[in-house]
Amino acid sequence: MYRNARRIALSAQFVAGISMLAGIVGVALALVVSNPYTTVIPPLLAAGAGLGYAVRTASIETTIERLDPRLVLAAYCLVAAGAIALYGANGYSRPIEVHALVLVLYLVTVLGAFALESPRLGFGLVVTTGVVHRGMVYYASAIQIGMDALYHNRVAEAIAAAESMAPLATSKYWYAPVYHLLTASGAEAMGVSARHAAFVLVTVVSTVVVAGAVFLLLDRVWGPTVGLVGATVLLAADKVIFATIHTTPTTIGVALFALLLCCTEWYIETRSRAVGALLFVALAGLVGTHQLSLFVAVVTLNAYLLGSLFWSGTLDRTVGGIQALLLVAFLLQASITRYNGPAGDAPSFILVTGTWITNELTGLLDGATSRASARLPADAAAALSGADALSWVQVLGTGLLFALAVTGAVYWLAQRDGDDGRIAFSLGVGVVTTSVFVFVLPMVGVSAFLSGRWTTFLYVLLAVLSAPAIVALLSRARSAPHSIAAIALVCLLVGAPYLVVMTGNGAGAPDDPLLDESPSAGRLGTTAQEASLYRFTVDSAADETLVVADFSAWQVLSRYYDHPTARYATAYETPGTTFDGETLVVYRGYADTNHASYYVRYEGTRYRVYGDLPGPYARDSIVYTNGEDRLAWRVES
């Protein structure tokens, strides 16, 4: 009975059926819990299952005979040069024309995967596309993008100046200092700021590592063309773009996770000592980089390995040994880490986080969660953060990636067996497990696991599964009677929407989103005029004067300039801020849009919202303006 159940569970038909069922259940759930995720992802899951079943017998063609590789290389160089030149001509900003050329660059990169005989050259194009794209986003802002990135790079510069780890003495990163030491040493060695050093040593290197890991994992099963397509799909994904732009320990953590996934699979197959040593080094690097990334990797890789054990139907000592090593690494890091560093007075990291998680799970069982039950009135001129401030367009890229991954999983299991099939099944188990942390737990009010940080790790698994689906769809289109029209249709219905939403939404274009219809999809980049406003604020604010700003301005003032700043907070019933005394209120011109974020207090609860920042008021005195950006002096009683 066990063997029959296992045989059914490992079949392509079962995976297609269970994915279809999950999609239908999700559509039904959307009637009860309606948000962009439940609206977009479930029907695309069902569509992906149906598409996978339809193409399960298609053969993969990895070359296009009529495509001249010299023409592809010439087109690539022309498009890349045009994008860079236009970017520079527009003052290092990205108008819609630059977005369009970057999209074309990704499409030409995929063509190169089919046309070029050299996998190394093809991989070079993939990495170059990713780095050029990221470089444009990274330097489109006068000040680096991202709250955590500003903090970590400021600490790295402090470490370089102090020539010691003293700046981390009150932080949990004392026990995981790889990012800070790497960036600090790079800044010293290259004689540049931490921002530039982080781009070279974190953004560029992590781009190469994640792309290389996906390529190598797919190359062994499907060949270099599918590997190159998978790497391109991953580098074009919104959360991956954001993770490599927002340089933090998580950026390195994702790269090491991808490397660990590749090494784990290699070691299971080869038992090579060299691969085992690389696996150990990658795990040690992850232990020294980021506690949360290590936890995500341990959970996801253990799920992958459990899937491998279920596929084989036997207890494998090698798989068990890797699982034990992962658990020991996590317990070691968690046990030695103190939440506020060696100089702080907080208890151990595992005690703090364990208490937090236990309280949330206990509250869930008792029927009380961290999700606020109250809501702002319907006439409120702002949208609550979270699902209310999110649109389906911002989620569409994730939904398309899920659909392609399901299609790829069904196709993979139908076309491959043995170790090759095991990889697909194990990846699927990893996807399901990680999705619980990303989607299910937040839905029921459990936020302790920081679900948003898991999505980038999930994308690595989804990209690996999606690659054979894309190549299979293109191969099926090539065999159609009107092949050119069929290929164009696949690109129009699959490739173009994926690239547009992934590279143009709030996460994929944080410097200035092309698709900014959602309140939460606001510009995180800083203009030169805003930088001047911040500099004036820091220079002119007296010690006793409170500086107040919207969330984006607050993170720059507090994390980059290290200036004490409060986030704008107001009461729903009365205008003005909830602060008493003299305040300097920062009003960016961009804060007049629905993308500004601040706090509103209503019926005793404080909510983070998106909307036009209230004010300035007639009683305010404008002490600085450069046109759109203003600094207002306000006295609250």
Kindly indicate the confidence band of residue 506, based on its pLDDT and cuts at 50, 70 and 90.
very high
Task: Quote the distance between the C-alpha of residue 346 and its chain's center.
Answer: 30
- Residue-wise pLDDT for 431-479, tens only, equals 999 999 999 888 887 887 888 899 999 999 999 999 999 998 888 877 6
Residues 82-98, mean pLDDT to the nearest whole number: 97
Q: Which residues pair with 118 in a beta bridge?
A: none
The reported pLDDT for the residue numbered 5 is 64
d(CA 272, CA 579): 63
The reported pLDDT for the residue numbered 486 is 66
The reported pLDDT for the residue numbered 594 is 92
Q: Which helix (H) or strand (E) holds 285?
A: helix 273-287
The reported pLDDT for the residue numbered 316 is 87
The reported pLDDT for the residue numbered 527 is 95
d(CA 141, CA 153): 15
The reported pLDDT for the residue numbered 351 is 77
Longest dimension (CA), the chain: 79
The reported pLDDT for the residue numbered 618 is 85
Better pLDDT: 136 or 337? 136
Residues 468-494, mean pLDDT to the nearest whole number: 77
Q: Residue 167 above 70 pLDDT?
A: yes
Q: Residue 373 above 70 pLDDT?
A: no
Contact 349, 291 (CB under 8 A): yes
Residues 311-324, mean pLDDT to the nearest whole number: 91
Output helix, strand, coil percentages for the chain, rounded to the nearest 5.
Answer: 65, 5, 25
Q: Count CA atoms closer than 13 A to 121's CA, side-chain side.
A: 13
Task: Quote the distance between the C-alpha of residue 273 and its chain's center.
Answer: 33
Q: Residue 211 above 90 pLDDT?
A: yes
- Residue-wise pLDDT for 510-533, tens only, equals 999 999 999 999 999 999 999 999
Q: Which residues pair with 178 in a beta bridge?
A: none
State the pairing for strand pair 605-610/597-602: antiparallel
Give me 299's structure tokens. 């959970």
Q: Residue 327 above 90 pLDDT?
A: yes
d(CA 491, CA 477): 10
Kindly indicate the confidence band of residue 122, based on its pLDDT and cuts at 50, 70 and 90.
very high
Q: Residue 370 above 60 pLDDT?
A: no
Better pLDDT: 487 or 117? 117
- Residue-wise pLDDT for 398-435, tens only, equals 999 999 999 999 999 999 877 788 999 999 999 999 99
Kindly indicate the confidence band of residue 89, based on its pLDDT and cuts at 50, 70 and 90.
very high
- Residue-wise pLDDT for 249-299, tens only, equals 999 999 999 999 999 999 999 999 999 999 999 999 999 999 999 999 999
From the DSSP assignment, how many helices (H) and strands (E) are in the chain?
A: 25, 9
Give the residue carrying structure tokens 């991953």.
Answer: 234
Q: Residue 359 above 80 pLDDT?
A: no
Residues 27-33, mean pLDDT to the nearest whole number: 88
Task: Name the least confident of 164-173, 183-192, 347-356.
Answer: 347-356
